[in-house]
Structure 1
Amino acid sequence: MDEAAVRAVDRALAALRRGEVVAIETADGTVGAAVSVESVALDAVERLKALTGGSPRLVVTRRRAMVLGLADARPAPASGDGSSDGSLGEGFGAMALDRPGGLSADQAHALADPEQHPLAQGRLPAGLTAAEACPGSREATAVDLARLARLLPAAITADLPPAADAGAASTAAANAAEWAAEHDLLLVRAADVADYRVHVVRTLRLVADARVPLVGSENTRIHAFRPADGGPEHLAIVIGDPDPEQPVLTRLHSECFTGDLLGSLRCDCGDQLRGAIAEIARHGSGVLLYLAQEGRGIGLVNKLRAYRIQDSGFDTVDANEILGFEADERVYLPAAEMLRQLGFPAVRLMTNNPEKLRQLARCGIAVVERVAHVFPANGHNDAYLRTKAERSGHMF
């Protein structure tokens, strides 16, 4: 994946977050347009019609379609993303929703946003249909872009009609770049979106490090790793002087603004973070990787939305799935890449999550031992911890 392709995806993500329309080109050279449901303006549907001459449709994840009663359940992929290389993976895929006469922007909002739409199937718009979106299609790519942008995983898309029916529009479609430029749209290729996350992780590089004495662990250095797209940095907190010839005591910790910084009682993240640092210091040396994947990979804003859903009586797994995400969208290729660059090929992993053991091993790091990392409930996170054990297989 070259630098131009990385820039194209990065710019498309920023455009979606601003509520702009982006153009998507697939492997066969056909092109369409998409806009994030979360950021869509009320006139976006009409604009898509005018731009493409096609019929706009709503695209959601299969998870969200299942919640709406529009898709059958399938066996769940592995937690994280179902892949061994840290890519987005197909997961449950995407589905295109439509109805005679098309969906309005308000209807699209209601279908994609669980806070606006009742979950009862009987209250869906009349005539609503759902169709599978093939991997690599413009529809599936639009949903992946929304996920990468940490928006609700849903988009409104429309395609340029095929050449046999499109007249002048087909001439524009013959050259996607010209068509996008003519309409002042950012153009991104579906194949580049599919490759983006893995490529970006593989470009992680150390950009800064410094000695940062911590309470109870004065001999500590923090190493910052930045991806090529300029996205959020991942941090390696190296305590003491770990011997690279021996399995290193290691903790993978996904950032949690509410728990780590504010001391939220809804989770056990703050306890796990501070407890891991104390335990590594007691052991004498080790590494804590602080990974930029808030909310099990869905981002802080979506995590807050999940909290609101939980307050209605759902657990953490259900809340993520109601939003249209998998129960856990984290990936561990960044952690493996950081460990390789630090020179630590084997670890003793502090975790209760068996998926971390599997994923890190799949990414090429030898996990020679699991070290339990358990903290008591506090009266507010009892259900959260119970869900971890009963639905996510955590070992307490």
Structure 2
Amino acid sequence: MGFSPDITERLARARADLRMGVPIVLEGGAIIFAVETLDAVRFADLRAMGMPVLAITSWRAETLKARAYDGDLARVALPQDATLAWVQAVADPADDLRNPMKGPLQTVRDGSADLHRAAIALVKSARLLPAALVMPVANAQAFALDHNLTMVPEAATRDTALSPLRPIVNARLPLEVSEAGRLHIFRPDDGGEEHYAVEIGQPDRSKPVLSRLHSACFTGDLLGSLKCDCGPQLRGALAQMGAEGAGVLLYLNQEGRGIGLANKMRAYSLQDQGFDTVEANHRLGFEDDERDFRIGADILRRMGFSQVRLLTNNPAKVDRMNACGLQVVARVPLKVGENRHNHHYLATKAAKSGHLL
């Protein structure tokens, strides 16, 4: 019978388990804990099994002056007296400046890092800090059954294919900028966040549509934060579409350049310590930008568009759309929202991310 979860559903379970502090098992032979959600009881039980390895990204390792022998990650050997607080301090940069001496850290250079790489991929996909404790287990399947844990193949974490997006519903939605508004909801098969398309008017599918790929920004879009230009860009894009009588704004749930709201707030806290937005992401262990722009291209294609006039100041976004097979016939600037609170943030986007401001 087809009641058992397939691999996509098991990965969704694994993400949910990690967010709740429940470990998961990799078929390759390891039990995985997300450091951020690990509690003292489970940490004690894990230490009773032996000595786990702490997997962190190369960006975090660089901050901690630890050698990343595996290139994209480092496997940190835990000291015999390592406490849960020590492990979480290595993963979380919140107290780096107050307590900079966490090492010297010893990192592993022998053996395969495939399971550790899979562990980091899983905790990242769960929108947690990219740090995981990895403990080898002799019989992964038996261990998972004995402890009622979700088990996933390590290879599944390397699958970078875009999860299929399903159109769920669309309905008329009169807006301030245009009474001829319609909201479309798209849901990925992998259990991830839904994404939205705001259609203004009745855009001609045979012509380039005025479009914007807007990543969700709770602080800027909803609260009117002055630390970024997201809110003014959202409203400015909708206003321009309303003025032209047609357009599509994609509202993609990729908060904080794809790291999630909690991690974005961690980055804001680091910015208050004097780091710019890119440096803050790196200290947390993330890339400059973790978003997947294939989502936007896929939604536009599903809506019947093949050419766009893209509202953006980011040339990289144009390149990514073209690479996804969606032709960008024109980049339309969207220069709004600069103020004294976000001047340095915008300067960093221009200097380090190539935005044309």
User: Normalised by the size of structure 1, how large is the TM-score?
Assistant: 0.84
Following TM superposition, the consecutive aligned residue runs of length 4 or more in structure 1 with deviations greater than 6 angstroms are: 133-136
Q: Summarize the Cα distance change of 1:185–1:8 in structure 2 as closer, same or farther, 3 Å threshold.
A: same
Look up the match of 1:84. Answer: none
Q: Which of 66, 70, 80 is the equivalent residue of 1:101?
A: 80
1:96 Cα deviation after fit: 0.7
Instruction: Work out whether residues 54 and 133 of structure 2, in 8 Å CA contact, stay in contact via their aligned partners in 1.
Output: yes
1:49 Cα deviation after fit: 4.1
1:94 Cα deviation after fit: 1.9
1:33 and 2:31 aligned: yes
1:185 Cα deviation after fit: 1.7
2:273 and 2:299 map into 1 onto residues whose CA distance is 39
1:103 Cα deviation after fit: 3.5
Instruction: Work out whether residues 136 and 191 of structure 1, in 8 Å CA contact, stay in contact via their aligned partners in 2.
Output: no
Superposition CA RMSD, Å: 2.2
2:170 and 2:50 map into 1 onto residues whose CA distance is 52
Deviations 1:24-63 (A, max 9, x none): 123xxxx11111110111233332244xx44201111111
Secondary structure of the residue aligned to 1:221 is: strand
Please tell me the residue identity of whatever aligns with 2:80: G
Please tell me the residue identity of whatever aligns with 2:120: V
Look up the match of 1:23. Answer: 25
1:139 and 2:116 aligned: yes
User: Normalised by the size of structure 2, how large is the TM-score?
Assistant: 0.93
Please tell me the residue identity of whatever aligns with 2:126: A
1:374 and 1:3 map into 2 onto residues whose CA distance is 47
Instruction: Work out whether residues 233 and 337 of structure 2, in 8 Å CA contact, stay in contact via their aligned partners in 1.
Output: no
Secondary structure of the residue aligned to 1:198 is: coil
Look up the match of 1:124. Answer: 102
1:119 and 1:43 map into 2 onto residues whose CA distance is 27
1:134 and 1:149 map into 2 onto residues whose CA distance is 27
Look up the match of 1:282. Answer: 243
Look up the match of 1:198. Answer: 161
**Identity rate of aligned residues, in percent?**
44
Please tell me the residue identity of whatever aligns with 1:98: A
Look up the match of 1:58. Answer: 54
Please tell me the residue identity of whatever aligns with 2:201: G
1:389 and 1:68 map into 2 onto residues whose CA distance is 27
Runs of 5+ consecutive residues of structure 1 not aligned to the other structure: 74-89, 161-169
Please tell me the residue identity of whatever aligns with 2:84: A
Deviations 1:259-288 (A, max 9, x none): 101111111000000000011111221111
1:198 Cα deviation after fit: 2.7
What pairs with 1:73-112 in structure 2 (closer than 5 Å)? 93-101=72-80, 103-112=82-91
Secondary structure of the residue aligned to 2:325 is: coil
Q: Summarize the Cα distance change of 1:111–1:132 in structure 2 as closer, same or farther, 3 Å threshold.
A: same
**How many pairs are equivalent?**
354
Secondary structure of the residue aligned to 1:66 is: helix
2:58 and 2:50 map into 1 onto residues whose CA distance is 23
Return the structure number with greater relative CO, CA threshold 8 A, min gap 6.
1
1:20 Cα deviation after fit: 1.1
Instruction: Work out whether residues 8 and 188 of structure 1, in 8 Å CA contact, stay in contact via their aligned partners in 2.
Output: yes
Look up the match of 2:128. Answer: 151
Deviations 1:224-244 (A, max 9, x none): 000113332100111111111
1:376 Cα deviation after fit: 4.4
Secondary structure of the residue aligned to 1:327 is: coil
1:253 and 2:203 aligned: no
2:97 and 2:341 map into 1 onto residues whose CA distance is 27
1:373 and 1:182 map into 2 onto residues whose CA distance is 56
